[in-house]
A and B are shown apart, each in its own frame.
Chain A
Amino acid sequence: MALRGQDLVTVLRRQIEGYEARVGMVEVGTVVEVGDGIARVHGLAGCRYHELVEFPGGVMGIAMNLEEDGVGVVLLGGEKEVKEGDTARSTGRIVEVPVGKALLGRVVDALGRPLDGKGPIKADRFRPVERVAPDVTKRKSVDTPVQTGIKAIDAMIPIGRGQRELIIGDRSTGKTALCLDTIINQKGQDLYCIYVAIGQKASKVAQVVSTLEQHGAMEYTTVVVASASDSAALQYLAPYAGCAMGEEFMEEGEDALIIYDDLTKHAWAYRQISLLLRRPAGREAYPGDVFYLHSRLLERAAKLHPDYVRELAAQRGITLPPNHNRGSLTALPIIETQAGDIAAYIPTNVISITDGQIYLETDLFNAGIRPAINVGLSVSRVGGAAQTRAMKRVAGRLRLDLAQYRELAVFAQFGTADLDPTTRRQLERGQRIIEVLKQPQFQPMPLEHQVMILYAVVNGYLDDVPVPQVQRWEAEFHRFLDTAHPEIGKTIRETKDFTPATEEALKRAIAEFKAGFRL
């Protein structure tokens, strides 16, 4: 919309003439000490916890220590501009961020300011970053899946919309890769994604954004960044800011997914702020409320009850269809462990908060099993309630088969020739299942393909295929089904079910494929 010079003048004139000057009372204080990102302000008697405080030059801060004579304020950037003797005023607001669809496709900082050079964010709504999570009456149990596109997860550790599933592992085990694949798999689906990068290298974040753009994922994704060079205050805020954005989608009756990468660095940032505020240090020098730091964040991810969603929509003058079952925020927090120690302080905290964990192991990764998921230690407490009927039918035995395989796996080292046929079959089945569960990065697999290949391997159709050929078998199997029998996949995709009729059709197709497959 191009404004002619004259129009602009008219608009400005109208704004100035129509301006209603209002004089209000503000509370002020004086800066007595500033340094390390913290300003001590004498005064501000009525300042409230987490209130936004404004310094000269527009520098903002959050009041985090309320003391007898003054307030300890954590500065949000601009530390060099605040001097002793400056006047600080309270604003009566908590930190707010822009929310809504205007944020899709954008890369922003922890305060919602754009970082991608694509112009200002034209958001029509702002939300406070801190909020009380929905109470029990406003929630519904999780019943719809988040299709990650990763076979191992969708089959054995399924994630539902509204669940919190922790992704935990050492460095470079594929935690971020897992999350990126999940986001990429949402293309053409109905899930908005938010990726919050906390304390990471800016180069890594740039790579993530570039990957998402390449796969066309940015059109439904927002990236919130507080990189390693940003202040601890911004790293502390970033997850809450992202959560506020996700809550907006949730309360509008949409489904959203948020990834916190990672909460370990979030805890470090909070520890830094707390120690600088001279709060008492607890275990491992973390402050006493480091559990609350994460619990209040993760509790805000939920599945809302349809009645409540309808009520919220009515308040905005919108009527939803009667069978509307959306309105959720799924959280995938990431925790980085040291030397695989999942019993350390922060990991155990977050494990007890989330509804399950996906445990990635370095040994598995190095042995070529990628995604390096330790199925034995991983769990999803929502489980089958978040799976389509199709997947439940084929994946039911998968976990058990793998568990039995693991018990026997030690015998496979010495060759399988001396074992009895049952044991040998179990071992060979297990080896092929593991081969099938391997998956390259950036190749999330649609539901119907997952169902079909898992059906094939669980029911022994790959038992006669040598292990090194399994991946080739699978690739050609999918291609064959897409070209020769697309109707099977289509049925599964559309009905989300795997009826005996479909099963028969699939069996015939498998036989046909095997006849033509050359080892």
Chain B
Amino acid sequence: MPGRPLPSPKRYALALWQIARDQGTVDKWLHDLQNLVALAGAPPTAAVLDAPGIPLRERVALVREALPHLNPMAYNLVALLAQRRAFRILPRVLQEFQRLVDAAQGVLRVQVTVGAPLADREEEEMAERLSRALGRRVVLSVHTDPSLLGGLVLRIGDRVVDGSVRGLLAALRKTLVGVG
């Protein structure tokens, strides 16, 4: 892609997190970033925010109008992003910000995909057992995917544990049919 390289989402996230931590506004920032990501991703606004022809003032004003209740520093962020025409990096900034918050709070986010819906107690139990096993406070986000046929798939960051029936069948198939 021609032009200047995009600014680093990690550095932005780190800067924002340090501000949030020092001012004690972590939760507010999280909320604000989520709103910004939603706005920047929605089709009508997405095209405009980074558009080359539209002046800075107007693009910032657009955000101010759409999201009037952000914390004051957030509008500074918006101005900076508009100047660099880098609204695209917002989702990764949010992701990284969340990661920094989690790390500071000792939280581990685990995505669980199950074949069939869990009972209420099952979800709590799972969170407890994982917390004990991993030594961090585990926050689960659970999705259901019937194509798993049963069992579950755990995802922690980049690491995946596939305990689904579908996954085990695929492994069995590989063993029987052989490699190459």
Contacts and interface: CB of A to CB of B under 8 A. Distances in A.
Interface of A: 12, 15-16, 19, 21, 23-29, 43-46, 68-69, 89, 98, 112-113, 120-121
Contacts of B172: 16, 19, 21
A477 to B, nearest CB: 53
8 residue pairs, one from A and one from B, having the closest CB atoms: A43-B158, A23-B163, A45-B158, A25-B161, A28-B160, A21-B168, A27-B158, A25-B159
Nearest to A45: B158
B161 to A, nearest CB: 5
B68 interface: no
Contacts of A98: 180
B32 interface: no
Contacts of B10: 68-69
Given A16-B172, A24-B161, A26-B160, 4 more contacts: A19-B172, A25-B160, A29-B158, A44-B158
A500 to B, nearest CB: 59
A19 B157 contact: no
A46 B158 CA distance: 9
A261 to B, nearest CB: 25
A16 B176 contact: yes
Contact of A23 (B159, B162, B176): B162
A52 to B, nearest CB: 12
B175 interface: yes
Interface in B15-62: none
Could you tell me the dominant secondary structure of chain A's interface residues?
loop
Contacts of A12: 176
A19 B160 contact: no
Given A15-B176, A19-B175, A26 B163 contact: no
- In this complex, the member of B155, B160, B168, B172 whose beta carbon has the largest number of chain A beta carbons within 10 angstroms is B160
Interface of B: 10, 155, 157-163, 167-168, 171-172, 175-176, 180
A23 B161 contact: yes
A44 B163 CA distance: 20
Could you tell me the dominant secondary structure of chain B's interface residues?
mixed
Contacts of A21: 168, 171-172
B160 A89 contact: yes
A89 B172 CA distance: 18
B160 A27 contact: yes
A21 B162 CA distance: 11
28 contacts: A12-B176, A15-B175, A15-B176, A16-B172, A16-B176, A21-B172, A23-B161, A23-B162, A23-B163, A23-B168, A24-B161, A25-B160, A25-B161, A26-B160, A26-B161, A26-B162, A27-B158, A28-B155, A28-B160, A29-B158, A43-B158, A45-B157, A45-B158, A69-B10, A98-B180, A112-B180, A113-B180, A121-B180
B173 to A, nearest CB: 11
Contacts of A26: 159-162
A43 B162 CA distance: 17
A125 B73 CA distance: 62
B73 to A, nearest CB: 26
A1 to B, nearest CB: 16
A107 to B, nearest CB: 16
A124 to B, nearest CB: 13
A69 B96 CA distance: 11
Nearest to B96: A69
Contact of B180 (A29, A45, A120): A120
A44 B158 CA distance: 6
A147 B14 CA distance: 67
A133 B160 CA distance: 35
Nearest to B154: A25
Contacts of A24: 161
- In this complex, the member of A24, A68, A121 whose beta carbon has the largest number of chain B beta carbons within 10 angstroms is A24
Contacts of A16: 172, 176
Nearest to A29: B158
B78 to A, nearest CB: 24
A24 B157 CA distance: 15
B176 A28 contact: no
Contacts of B158: 27-29, 43-46
A45 B155 CA distance: 14
Contacts of B163: 23
A21 B170 CA distance: 11
Nearest to B157: A45
Contacts of B167: 23
Contacts of B168: 21, 23
